[in-house]
């Protein structure tokens, strides 16, 4: 939990740096709110038993509840925001602990809602993703695609409109399965014509660097005659220009096999992938979802849904956590925030120790002491060592009689009995505050 809380704090600082404000949403939503938003993964939603006529489900992610939240705000200025949320979500999945795949887990989301000029919010979202991974020191690269390019490929290859989402879900498995298995699913399980599947394969198996892949798509007259694909390509080019300014461009690679199976994406989609040595694959993902809020907000005077453009990213914090824990020696983790331990030499001096610790607490210093009337000195030293407490305040009869105390830095090599420096009792708080603030502990 110490490592996890440090991780949450680190991510929150990045989110706050980019102007994010935090909100919270309920753990459960009305079932109709969640249904039909996640494609084939909808089977992983935890549906609750009927409770007096209300059909509810546990939230599958933080994006759909956020869209519902935005729709409820009503006023436009309240629907234009940079929001972040760190909270648990639930999926009826098969857990794989070593890969951070769980049934109950945290997500860390950052979203930008509101109508802005093209690709500006998208660029900042990818910058936030990059800053977050840098802050936790995890090597990564970003796979990028555009839902309109992908849909344009499917349509020009001959995929019937009603099958586009299911075929997209199949293509999304290319990071885990070879093309032949994906093609088999499309043809044998989903009834797609084999020639159409082969044409799709020519695109999604094309591996080039981003510049050459952009040229490849630009020179495809048939694909560029598709208005959606043409717009998607223009979006990607503009986004890459902005990412160059944000120093993120070299981390992004256009990948036509990236599909993102969720139904609500409408534009840019992306995933952050770790180095193979980390063993967990994708650690963050997101995209643009301009129509999701409109599913909950009713219609305008023209009878059209009240849409609010949105773009966001979700950090796979459990996978990040599994990487960080694999790097940790558990014995090196300081599990409490105690800064000072009050030690008595000779007689137990219980009440004197209690008075000292009370002074420290009132001064805002995290302090502790032994709950024994007459603790053994050796056990007090061991308590400091065990809990990695950086400073000890030491008292004995002589110090009490002379109005003195002894302060010792327990992190020094000679942190055993004795040592430290003596000062007046009245100067204790000032000296300890100086040490605690100037010498942060981990």
| 107 known member of a binding site | yes
91 labeled part of a ligand binding site: yes
Which of these, 129, 159, 157, lies nearest to 143 by C-alpha position? 129
Length of the chain: 442
Angle (nearest 5°) at CA 385 between 381 and 386: 115
Pairing assessment for the beta strands 367-369 and 81-90 based on DSSP bridges: unpaired
Distance CA 190, CA 193 (A): 9
Spatial distance between the Cα atoms of 130 and 335, rounded to a whole number of angstroms:
29
Residue 205 labelled as part of a binding site: no
Sign of CA dihedral 423, 426, 427, 429: positive
DSSP secondary structure, 277-306, as one string: GG---EEEEEEE-SSTGGGTS-B-TTS-B-
How many Cβ atoms from other residues are within 10 Å of residue 89's Cβ? Answer: 21
Instruction: Determine if residue 264 is labeled as part of a ligand binding site.
Output: yes
Distance CA 341, CA 407 (A): 10
- Is 69 labelled as part of a ligand binding site? no
Angle, vertex CA 66, rays to CA 60 and CA 68, nearest 5: 95
Exposed / middle / buried, residue 216 (Cβ in 10 Å: 0-12, 13-18, 19+): middle
Would you give the distance in Å from CA 397 to the centre of its chain? 53
The answer on whether 62 is annotated among ligand-binding residues is yes
Reported as type and span, the H/E element at residue 328 is: none
d(CA 111, CA 46): 24
Q: Give CA–CA dist 92/52, Å, rounded.
A: 24
User: Pairing relation of β-strands 140-146 and 21-22?
Assistant: unpaired
Is 258 annotated to bind ligand? no
Question: Annotation-wise, does 61 bind a ligand?
Answer: yes
Query: Would you say 25 is a known binding-site residue?
Result: no
Residues ≥6 apart with Cβ < 8 Å to 8: 86, 106, 108, 317
- Rounded CA-CA distance 413/16 in Å is 39
Please report, in range form, the residues annotated as the binding site for L-histidine: 61-63, 91, 107, 111, 260, 264-265
Please report, in range form, the residues annotated as the binding site: 61-63, 91, 107, 111, 260, 264-265
């Amino acid at each position: 939990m110490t490592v996890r809380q440090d991780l949450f704090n680190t991510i929150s600082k990045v989110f706050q740096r980019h102007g994010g404000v935090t909100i919270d949403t309920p753990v459960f939503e009305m079932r109709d709110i969640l249904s039909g938003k996640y494609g084939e993964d909808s089977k992983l939603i935890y549906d609750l038993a009927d409770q007096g006529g209300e059909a509810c489900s546990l939230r599958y992610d933080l994006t759909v509840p956020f869209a519902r939240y935005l729709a409820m705000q009503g006023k436009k200025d309240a629907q234009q925001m940079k929001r972040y949320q760190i909270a648990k979500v639930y999926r009826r999945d098969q857990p794989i602990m070593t890969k951070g795949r769980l049934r109950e887990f945290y997500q860390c989301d950052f979203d930008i809602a509101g109508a802005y000029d093209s690709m500006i919010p998208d660029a900042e979202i990818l910058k936030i993703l990059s800053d977050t991974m840098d802050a936790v020191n995890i090597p990564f690269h970003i796979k990028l695609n555009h839902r309109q390019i992908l849909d344009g490929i499917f349509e020009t290859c001959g995929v019937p409109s009603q099958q586009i989402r299911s075929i997209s879900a199949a293509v999304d498995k290319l990071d885990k399965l070879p093309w032949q298995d994906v093609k088999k699913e499309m043809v044998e399980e989903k009834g797609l014509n084999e020639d159409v599947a082969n044409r799709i394969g020519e695109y999604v198996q094309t591996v080039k660097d981003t510049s050459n892949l952009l040229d490849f798509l630009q020179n495809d007259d048939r694909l560029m005659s598709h208005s959606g694909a043409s717009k998607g390509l223009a979006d990607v080019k503009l986004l890459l220009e902005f990412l160059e300014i944000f120093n993120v461009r070299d981390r992004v690679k256009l990948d036509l096999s990236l599909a993102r199976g969720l139904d609500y994406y409408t534009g840019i989609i992306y995933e952050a992938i770790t180095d193979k040595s980390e063993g967990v694959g994708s650690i963050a993902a997101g995209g643009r979802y301009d129509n999701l809020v409109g599913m909950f907000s009713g219609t305008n005077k023209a009878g059209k849904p009240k849409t609010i453009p949105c773009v966001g990213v979700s950090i796979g914090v459990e996978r990040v956590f599994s990487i960080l824990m694999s790097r940790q020696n558990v014995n090196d983790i300081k599990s409490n925030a105690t800064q000072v331990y009050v030690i008595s030499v000779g007689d137990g001096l219980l009440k004197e120790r209690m008075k000292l610790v009370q002074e420290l607490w009132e001064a805002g210093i995290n302090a502790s002491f032994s709950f024994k009337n007459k603790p053994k000195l050796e056990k007090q030293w061991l308590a400091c060592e065990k809990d990695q407490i950086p400073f000890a305040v030491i008292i004995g009869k002589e110090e009490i009689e002379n109005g003195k105390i002894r302060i010792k830095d327990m992190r020094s090599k000679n942190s055993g009995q004795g040592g430290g420096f003596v000062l007046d009792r009245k100067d204790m708080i000032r000296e300890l505050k100086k040490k605690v603030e100037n010498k942060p502990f981990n």
